[in-house]
Amino acid sequence: MRIVMWKSFISIFLIIGLKSFLFAQKREEIKLLDSDRIESSKGISEGAKRFIGNVVFSHKNTKMYCDSAYLFREQNIIHAYSNVYINKADSVHIYGDFLLYNANSDVGKVRNNVRLENDSVRLFTDSLDFNSKTNIVNYFNGGRIINGDNKLKSEKGYYYSDQDLFFFKKNVFGETPDYFIETDTLEYNTNSKTAYFLGPTNIYDQESNMYAENGWYKSNEKQFKFSLNAVYQNKEKILKADSLFFDDSLGYGNAWQNIEIIDTIQNIIMKGNYAYYVKEPESFYITDSALFVQVSDYTDSLFMHADSITSNMDSTGTYRILKAFHKVQMFRDDFQARCDSLVYNSKDSVMEFHVEPIIWSEGSQMTADNVELFIKNKKVDFFKLDQTAFIISQEDSSKYNQIKGKVMFGYVRNNKLSKVDVFGNGQTIYFTKDGEEVVGVNYAESTDLNIYLKNGGVRRINLKKQPEGTMYPLDELEETKLKDFKWLDKLRPKSKIDIFYW
């Protein structure tokens, strides 16, 4: 009894389910709304009819207009000719010369002189397919759209009308009032006027070019966000980063990770992992492993690291002012430096070191409260040590030549220190040699003095005011180090990698 009841239940369930399935699959036929004349077309297909003059069909929420058409009732298909117009729920309008519409699949094919319009977009193409159920339109033989002042064209394209979204593929070209766009794959939202780049992309104007392989551009706000091999370039500068953002209307931008800023005119490179940029007047702020490189040649480039580096143009827009803050270290083959903050002005080519500055050049160490380097042809021409000036060079492991004073000026020739002028409280200790052997030590004091050097050694000293000087045998001068003597070679960067370690 239970088995019989169970079989009956299954039979009823299958019958109900089959009827529901068949009901769900029941097709919705094309309806004729209007036509001036109707003709039978048995020669074409059994049951086919021809409609001529002001023909109007409807299917679901789509209306179709044309001058003439064939309706294949059994197949639920129409062929429409001349002045074809498709109205999709009064939101999407499609025009063309020919339409083939299959109501069973909800797919239409429009050919020749095709135009699609909605509230904000016009699309022009030669061949267009649409699905009235999914509301997706696509073209495959070249097309272009106009969205306000923005224009885009590509070989292939899809339009998702529910999302107001276009998807362009292959040889995509775009034009806005400010930029030209070239890419391979692009999505475009017609409401927000936002373009999303999904492949190698160039955006350029008459002065600059931007490249990336992923990102977006909001034409209303004039904002860019680039990632994946992002590069910005104008006539003078190249900016690279993992990710770039730029607001053209406000004239500022940000960059993140693996940043490289190249000034091709002044041969300057700046690197870091975060940067902030202002267009007018031009300025950079860069931090997180910040690095400044003054390129001279392969062996003579200057490398500088600091916690943060800023670069600004002066009020005339002609000269650059560079500032570095906290834990500043520099390396070049013939020159190294260390301080807490630094300022460089390209107008007078002066580099100022502040807060416990130390300069090393060849075998000499220079310290003072403040140090100024005067650059000529990208090399140190002379320097000024201001307040508690001290120059030390090592003779051997225990002997040090020393110059001390209130203010010093040092002059460099052929990358070597050749002369030092001391003003105020001048003191010197230097060791004399007979060949390679140290034979004595000279101690001298003078308010002002001039020291002439050759190959890193003292050649002559002129004591100018209130001079006192004595030559001692090597073992008779009890104190061979002047007050405040500090040999700081352990702090000296020995390579460009060392500048990152404080």
> In the prediction, which pLDDT does 207 show?
84
> In the prediction, which pLDDT does 471 show?
86
Q: How many CB atoms lie within 10 A of CB 315?
A: 8
Residue 488 has pLDDT above 60, yes or no: yes
DSSP 22: H
Residue 16 has pLDDT above 70, yes or no: no
pLDDT, tens digit, 9 for 90 and up, residues 246-274:
998 898 999 999 999 998 887 889 999 99
Among residues 48, 31, 30, which one has the least CA distance to residue 39?
48
**Span 105-111, mean pLDDT?**
96
pLDDT, tens digit, 9 for 90 and up, residues 446-476:
889 888 887 766 778 888 877 788 888 888 8
pLDDT, tens digit, 9 for 90 and up, residues 338-395:
999 999 988 888 999 999 999 998 788 999 999 999 988 777 888 999 999 999 988 8
The span from the CA of 360 to the CA of 336, in Å, is: 5
> In the prediction, which pLDDT does 43 show?
66
pLDDT, tens digit, 9 for 90 and up, residues 183-235:
999 999 988 889 899 899 999 888 889 899 999 999 889 898 998 899 988 88
Give 318's pLDDT tier (boundaries 50, 70, 90): confident
Residue 11 has pLDDT above 80, yes or no: no
Residue 498 has pLDDT above 70, yes or no: yes
The dihedral through the CA atoms of 415, 348, 491, 489 has a sign that is positive
Please state which architecture CATH assigns to domain 28-118. Sandwich (2.60)
> In the prediction, which pLDDT does 240 show?
93
Paired sense of beta strands 37-40 and 283-294, if any: unpaired
Give, in order, the Cα–Cα distances in Å from 216 to each of 151, 212, 254, 324. Answer: 16, 10, 15, 33
Largest Cα–Cα separation, the chain: 134
Q: Which residue has the higher pLDDT, 340 or 478?
A: 340
Residue 130 has pLDDT above 90, yes or no: yes
Q: Which residue has the higher pLDDT, 77 or 461?
A: 77
Torsion angle of C-alpha atoms 31, 32, 34, 37, degrees rounded to 10: 180
Q: Which residues pair with 244 in a beta bridge?
A: 226, 255
pLDDT, tens digit, 9 for 90 and up, residues 158-197:
999 888 899 999 999 999 888 899 999 999 998 888 989 9
> In the prediction, which pLDDT does 5 show?
42
Tell me the backbone φ, ψ of residue 15, rounded to 5 degrees.
-65, -45
Amino acid symbol at 469? G
Give 131's pLDDT tier (boundaries 50, 70, 90): very high
Task: Return the CATH class of domain 119-490.
Answer: mainly beta
Question: Any long-range contacts for 151-156 (C-beta under 8 Å, 24+ apart)?
Answer: 151/175, 151/176, 152/181, 152/186, 152/188, 152/195, 154/186
Amino acid symbol at 379? K
Amino acid symbol at 360? W
Q: Which two tokens stand for residue 117?
A: 């319009």
Residue 127 has pLDDT above 60, yes or no: yes
> In the prediction, which pLDDT does 378 show?
72
Give 297's pLDDT tier (boundaries 50, 70, 90): low
Residue 41 has pLDDT above 80, yes or no: no
Residue 426 has pLDDT above 70, yes or no: yes
Q: Which residues pair with 251 in a beta bridge?
A: none
Among residues 193, 129, 144, which one has the least CA distance to residue 164?
193
Q: Where in the chain is the domain with CATH 2.60.450.10?
A: 28-118, 119-490
> In the prediction, which pLDDT does 326 show?
96
3-class DSSP state of 446 = strand
Q: Which of 48-62, 158-172, 310-324 has the lowest mean pLDDT?
A: 310-324
Cis peptide before 357 (omega within 30 of 0): no
